[in-house]
Amino acid sequence: MSPSAILLIDCPDRKGLVAGVANLLYRHGANITHADQHQDHRAGLFFMRVEWALEGFPLDVFRAEFAVLAEELRMRWRLELTERKPRVALFVSQYLHCLADLLHRHQAGELGCELALVISNHETGRALAEFHGVAFHHVPVTAETKSGSEARQRALLDEAEVDLIVLARYMQILSPRFVAAYPGRVINVHHSFLPAFVGAKPYHAAHARGVKLIGATSHYVTDELDDGPIIEQDVARISHRDQVEDLVAKGRDLERIVLSRAVRWHLEHRILCYGNKTVIFD
């Protein structure tokens, strides 16, 4: 695909925002290939994503002129280039289904990124990662060594110049200090339809409660456990005949789906966060 630029904007809502952005792009001859917008009327906020072809486009001139417009209209904004592939780290423990799915999707060309490394507190995933040609690092974690383990993980991430961390069923709670180092750049999958059944054994809790639907949730990681901005969710119907093992098996398919969607949307720069919510552009 031809290289393109993506502009993401959020700001207080007011008249003329779309016209201001579109006119500036038009003046520089932009060929817009995608545009989407959203207004949160209750919050008084405006969100926009615009993508255009870069061929022959004066990007540096536009960037400088847009910065002036953005300051005038109180816009938070960022400009992304599709020719730059983000570098991704996958964290995993002993459950490998999400890891296997992401590795396969990347190999199939579904994820526009470079898989820089896999980090795990178990050796279980080494053969799978190395089969796909991705470096694997075993960093054991215990209550006594957690601080040192996270320091080692951060050193590996810095060395690999990682842009995004994906917790592909990584069964450790990241410290607030670790999370703060990567704001909006850590995606987790939780094996429950949040906010129901938070914690370590949601399928057991769902079975005990007798629910008729189970779900999975992908979300950005914050200091609050399983409480970050939700990116994607999906559900499956179950019945009284299903046991915990059945819920786990059905849930694994949901976990793969919602995590891969969240990762893909993040890599395609389709997500804006505000408060504890997300806007996901088409």
Rounded distance, CA 149 to CA 201, Å? 24
SS3 191: coil
DSSP 8-59: EEEEE--TTHHHHHHHHHHHTT--EEEEEEEEETTTTEEEEEEEEE-TT--H
The residues annotated with a catalytic role in the active site are 226
Contacts of 152 (CB under 8 A, 6+ apart): 139
Which residue matches tokens 């870069």? 54
Question: H helices of 120-175, where?
Answer: 126-131, 146-159
Token pair, residue 217, equals 């949730």
Which residue matches tokens 């280039």? 81
Nearest to 162 by CA among 85, 87, 75: 87
Q: Do 190 and 262 touch, CB atoms closer than 8 A?
A: no
Question: H helices of the chain, where?
Answer: 17-27, 59-72, 97-107, 126-131, 146-159, 176-180, 202-209, 244-267
Query: Which amino acid, one-letter code, is at 243?
Result: Q
Rounded distance, CA 129 to CA 132, Å? 5
